[in-house]
Amino acid sequence: MELSVQLFTGNAVTPAQTDIQEIINKLNRIYERTEISGAYIGWNKDAEIHSIAELLKDNGTDIYLWLPVFSELSLLAEFEPLIGIDGRKIKKLYNPADEELFSFCCPANPKNIEIAIDVFEKHYENSKNYAKGMFDGIFLDKIRFPSFIGGLSTVTSCYCDYCRSHFDLPEKNELSAESMENPMGITAYEDLCYKMNPGYRKLFDYKAKAIYNSLEHLCSYFREKGLKICLDLFAPFIAFFVGQDYHRLLKLADIVKPMLYNKTNAPAGLPFEINTYTKAFDSNEENAIARKVHLLETVDYYGNFIEKEVDGIKEVIVRNGFDTKLHVGIEINYVKDIAHVTEKYIKESIASVKNADGIIASWNLSTMPLSNIECLLDELYD
Ligand SMILES: [Zn+2]
C-alpha cells in the first residue's frame, strides 16, 4: 500500500500560517517508517515551500501542484460564470471548512480552460516561488459542477449560451419532481451510476460529457508538459451528481483519488453531501428524512459501503485494462467541528480501503495531529 500526503498552503492569494519546521518533522517521522510516494501541495501562489520541496525531492517523493480548477482560481482571474436554468448566475456558496464564500465557473466552456491554463502559467509555472522543474505532477481539484450545496438550483446548471448551444440540456418541465421522497426518480445504483428519470438522466449525462471534454483538454495540456496527473474526485455515489463519471475519467489520469471522507462536515465530505442532497428539494423536515433514507437504502450505504465503493472503482479499472492507480483519500487531519477524526476512525477507514493501491493522507498535513499520523503508520506498516 503506497502512502502519499496532502498539504494545504492557503487559498490562491492568502498564504496559510504554515509551520515549515513542523511539516518537516512530520515528513521525517513518516520517512523513518516508509517511503512517501506523492506530496500534493497547493494552492497558494506565494507559498514558501523550498525547504519542504527539497526534503521531498531528496527522498524520491513526487511533488504534485494542487489546483482548484473551476472554483477558487477565480481569485486570480475572471472566469465565464455558471448559469442556472432560470438564466441567472449561480450565487456564491458557503464552505464551512474555511468559512469562506466560493463559487464555480462554467466547467464546460473552453474559454475557462484557457483561463485556467493562463493562471497556471502566470502564477504557478513561472512564479519565482517555485523552482523550475519542482513539480512532477498536477493534482486537479474542483473539476466538477457544484453539488447540492446551494440547493437544487445550483445543480440545474449550466444553461449559459455555450452549454445551451453545444449540449442536449433538459427543459424545466423535464425536471419536475417524481415525489418528494425520490424527486429524481432514482431506482437503482449500479456500476457507479444511477438509474433515474429521463430528464435528470439527461442533465447528468450532459454534466459527465462536459467534465470529460474539459478534462481531456486540460490533461493533454499537462501531459505535454511532462507532468503526471492525479484527479481529486468525489466518492462515486455523489460524483455522479457533479459530472464526475469514473467510467470516462479513469483513463485520463495516472492516479485517481476518491475523497472517501466519512467524517468531514464540509464539501466532498460524505455526511455533508448527503445532507445537501436531502435538503435541496424542499424545506419540509419529514420529506428530507424520507429522501435521505431512500438514497441511503438505494446505494446500500450501510455496513461495508466504503469498501464497495473502492471495489466498484477497482472493477472499472480492471475491466477496461486501465493502468490508473487508485489512491484513496482518507482524513487524517483533525479540524474542530468539521473533521472529528479519531484513531478509531482511522483504523476503520484503513480496513475499508485495503483493496486500493494507495492511501493519500488528507486533507492537510498541517492539521494532522502527530498521534493520528502515528496511528496511520502503525495500521499500515506494523
Ligand atoms: Zn455553461
Q: How far is the CA of 158 from the centre of ligand 1 (A)?
A: 4
Residue 124 resides in a domain = yes
Residue 8 lies in a domain: yes
Query: CB–CB of 356/315 below 8 Å?
Result: no
Q: How far is the CA of 112 from the centre of ligand 1 (A)?
A: 10
User: Would you state the pLDDT for residue 178?
Assistant: 83
Written as one string, the DSSP assignment of 89-152 is BPPPEEETTTTEEE--B-SS-HHHHHHHHHHIIIIIIT-TTS-TT--SEEEEE--S---GGG-H
Query: What's the confidence (pLDDT) of residue 328?
Result: 98
pLDDT tens digit string along 241-279? 999 999 999 999 999 999 999 999 999 999 999 999 999
pLDDT score, position 95: 87
Residue 72 lies in a domain: yes
Tell me the three cell numbers of residue 71: 472554483
Number of domains in the chain: 1
Write the pLDDT tens digit of every residue in 139-172.
999 999 999 999 999 999 999 999 999 999 999 9
Alpha-carbon Rg for the chain, nearest whole angstrom, is 20
Given a contact cutoff of 8 angstroms between Cβ atoms, the answer to whether 255 and 324 are in contact is: yes
CA of 54 to the centre of ligand 1 (A): 41
Residue 201 lies in a domain: no
Q: Could you tell me where the DSSP H helices lie in 198-337?
A: 198-224, 236-239, 246-249, 270-279, 285-299, 305-320
Tell me the C-alpha distance between 126 and 108, whole Å.
Answer: 26
Q: Is residue 312 part of a domain?
A: yes
Question: How many angstroms does the Cα of residue 160 sit away from the middle of ligand 1?
Answer: 4
Residue ranges for the chain with pLDDT beneath 70: none
- Residue 108 Cα to ligand 1 midpoint, Å, equals 6
Ligand 1 geometric centre to CA of 75 (Å):
19
- Paired strand residues for 358: 2, 327
Domain extent for 6: 2-161+207-280+305-381
What is the 376 CA–ligand 1 centroid distance (Å)? Answer: 42
Question: What residue type is assigned to position 261 of the chain?
Answer: Y
Q: How far is the CA of 82 from the centre of ligand 1 (A)?
A: 6
Q: Which amino acid is at 182?
A: N
What's the gap in Å between 315 CA and the centre of ligand 1?
32
Tell me if 292 is assigned to some domain.
no
Q: Is 15:114 a contact under the CB 8 Å cutoff?
A: no
What does pLDDT average to over the chain? 96
What CATH number should be reported for the domain holding residue 341?
3.20.20.80
Q: Is residue 168 situated within a structural domain?
A: no
| Residue 296 forms part of a structural domain | no
CA count, 13 A, side-chain hemisphere, 63: 22
- Largest Cα–Cα separation, the chain: 60
